């Protein structure tokens, strides 16, 4: 395996993909982002640019740092455009067919046999994604958290087939290059954080649904009574109601436990397009 990773590919440039691209660019890496359309490229570039602008305004980086980071990010409309990458992180929506197509194509496109293929999935088993490739030993989960540029955690999820040096390389990259703090998880639905978090968030949504308490009081109770920085419904708005519904649905399908079943209120809000902060509001209007 390459001892030094300098060329990184990101597949997808939504909220998480753009955050990963910015994070890697600010770390001085050569970043190439694969997108599905010209519109996706424009939106992705704008996300990265606006985030860097905010970092400059807040004094986190200098104007020169911003220009260097923007200059380090390039885009491609095909997965073959990532052929020379040493590490590729998949960050596309949680759709099985889409992820299958991505990993099958990456397996054929990446030239370096020692390149790492990672997934930022929050709900799919890494073993399943590795099975779409002919080299499952080089596939690993690297689950980052939103906002990627701020939150220090990354869940590293090897499978039974992941080579030990791939796991070690992914963890070293997270720590030494990106400055993250990794935890290791078994390859099961929800990994560590979502396996604990999703039932908690769904429980708060059910409280609102049944009239047990208001959204504001639930959140106030958890902030003041448990020292949580955000209440569960504020956090749901931040993550995105559609993301919570998707992850919950995947966990419910895998384990069959009703604790993971998406409540009717959550499904209704998603159907109405009230997805949280990214759409102007969910349980609360945007601050």
Q: Which residues does the annotation mark as catalytic?
A: 122, 143, 155, 194
Buried b (16+ CB within 10 A) or exposed e, 125-135: bbbbbbebbee
**Helix H or strand E segment including 95:** none
Q: Taking a C-beta distance cutoff of 8 angstroms, is the pair 215, 233 a contact?
A: yes
CA quadruple 269, 275, 279, 284: dihedral, nearest 10 = 80
CA-CA distances (angstroms) from residue 200 to 7, 238, 259?
A: 38, 15, 9
Radius of gyration of the chain (CA): 19
């Amino acid at each position: 395996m390459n001892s030094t990773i300098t060329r990184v590919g990101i597949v997808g440039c939504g909220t998480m993909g753009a955050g990963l691209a910015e994070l890697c660019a600010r770390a001085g890496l050569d970043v190439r982002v694969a997108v599905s359309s010209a519109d996706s490229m424009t939106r992705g570039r704008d996300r990265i640019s606006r985030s860097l602008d905010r970092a400059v305004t807040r004094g986190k980086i200098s104007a020169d740092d911003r220009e260097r980071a923007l200059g380090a990010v390039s885009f491609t409309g095909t997965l073959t455009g990532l052929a020379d990458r040493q590490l590729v992180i998949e960050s596309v929506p949680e759709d099985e067919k889409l992820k299958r197509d991505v990993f099958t194509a990456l397996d054929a496109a990446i030239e370096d046999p020692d390149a790492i293929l990672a997934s930022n999935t929050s709900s799919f088993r890494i073993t399943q994604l590795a099975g779409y490739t002919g080299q499952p030993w080089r596939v690993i989960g690297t689950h980052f958290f939103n906002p990627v540029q701020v939150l220090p955690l990354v869940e590293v999820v090897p499978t039974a087939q992941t080579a030990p040096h791939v796991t070690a390389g992914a963890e070293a990259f997270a720590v030494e290059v990106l400055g993250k703090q990794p935890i290791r998880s078994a390859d099961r639905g929800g990994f560590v954080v979502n396996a604990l978090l999703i039932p908690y968030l769904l429980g708060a949504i059910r409280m609102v649904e049944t009239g047990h308490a208001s959204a504001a009081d639930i959140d106030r109770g958890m902030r003041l009574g448990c020292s949580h920085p955000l209440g569960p419904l504020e956090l749901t708005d931040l993550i995105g109601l559609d993301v919570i519904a998707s992850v919950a649905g995947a966990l419910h399908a895998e384990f069959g436990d009703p604790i993971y079943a998406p409540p009717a209120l959550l499904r209704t809000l998603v159907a109405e397009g009230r997805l949280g902060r990214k759409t102007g509001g969910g349980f609360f209007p945007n601050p």
